[in-house]
Amino acid sequence: MEQTEAILIRRHAWSDTSLVLTWSTSGHGKVRTMAKGARRAGSAFAGRLDLFHRVEIGYVPARRGDLHTLCEIRLVAPFAASAAANLFLAGYFAELVDRTTEPGHAVPEIHNLLVRALTHLGAAPATERALVFFEEELCRLLGIFEPGESALPELERYCGKIPASRNEVLGLLGGV
């Protein structure tokens, strides 16, 4: 069994009782797990699979493919958004991390950037400055950013397109 600290960045239903979860980790990169029975009443995972919390997970690696089996989870640090804008901005950051990382390819600096951003959003109001800083730092870590230029075009080229949630966040922040 593998154990690692992780942040849940995406979750979706797989069946009536199971979830597929995407995690950002420092040592294992992006990790996808199946949480069997997580949607059942009384599940061992009940109340523990919240987005953006820092947790420690234990999972059994898949024999084939990249969908592992989640076995255990322990809360390390909760994410407490003080406003809806903070939650939406955290979602945008998670979406960028998901689009710019590959399963099983560790980029600890990107995970640490996400940890720092979520810690900031847990303590301070969301701002357009925080959004731009995250984008610039992400581009710098990816090696696609030249200081003094806008990171957005480079990020768009790298990702194919910028997540639509960016405009929604800017709307909440009064930047559009």
For 84-127, write each residue's pLDDT tens digit.
999 999 999 999 999 999 998 999 999 999 999 999 999 999 99
What angle do helix axes 151-159 and 84-100 make, rounded to 10 degrees?
A: 60
CA distance between the termini of the chain = 47
- The pairing of beta strand 54-60 with beta strand 2-13: antiparallel
* Residue written as token pair 């990249």: 66
Q: Are 132 and 162 in contact (CB under 8 A)?
A: no
The overall average pLDDT reported for the chain is: 92
Q: CA distances (Å), 37 to each of 28, 32, 53, 66, 97, in order?
A: 24, 16, 20, 19, 27
Reported as a single tens digit per residue, the pLDDT across 33-68 is 999 988 888 888 888 899 999 999 999 999 998 999
pTM above 0.95, yes or no: no
